[in-house]
Amino acid sequence: MLVGYARTSTVDQIAGFEDQVEQLKRLGAERIFFEQVSAVGARPQLEAALDFVRDGDVMIVTRLDRLARSTKHFCEIFERLEHKGVKLRVLDLGIDTATATGRMVAEVVAAVAGFERRLLLERQRVGIAAAKGQGKYQGKYQGRPPTARRRFPEVIELRRTGMLPSEIATRLGISRSSVFRALREAKVTA
């Protein structure tokens, strides 16, 4: 079975959305899952499509960016489809995992993602080593401590003098919610 997936980020992209659906229909997609949501949010129709496909099916998308939000995300989808015995066709890149060349392209994309991840981890290790050398590495909590949390003793002292939470927030340059959090943790009434 040919299963299509189409997505646009906003409802304003009607023409692009309709074009995707039309292309999928012309290619013979028997079932098309579509949605108009951002790539970064939840995509229930993509999940439904990935759950729906079975061994021997082919999932078709018009463009890679309609399917995956990143190389890593593409790899996750690719592995999920591979595990189910489903082939993938990405029209704009000519990827068709039913062919040796298409499968190679998909595997190259997956290899690049792995390479990117290893580079990221290596840069992270170098950065941590440099921070430790400068005495700036904070162990479990990397980075500087939150500003508001450092001011909690002042919050409590100012409140005990009778100052109102909104006045404390203004004076210390922190949010009211941070003031209330400090008071709550210290069990001081607001």
- Active site residues per annotation: 9
Phi, psi for residue 8 in degrees, rounded to 5: -130, 160
Return the C-alpha torsion angle 23, 24, 30, 35, nearest 10: -120
What is the side-by-side order of every strand in the sheet holding 87-90? 31-36, 2-8, 58-61, 87-90, 95-96
Q: Which residues pair with 7 in a beta bridge?
A: 35
SS3 label, residue 6:
strand
**Residue 36 in contact with residue 9, Cβ under 8 Å?**
yes
CA distance 73 to 87: 17
Among candidate residues 122, 116, 185, the one with its CA nearest the CA of residue 149? 185
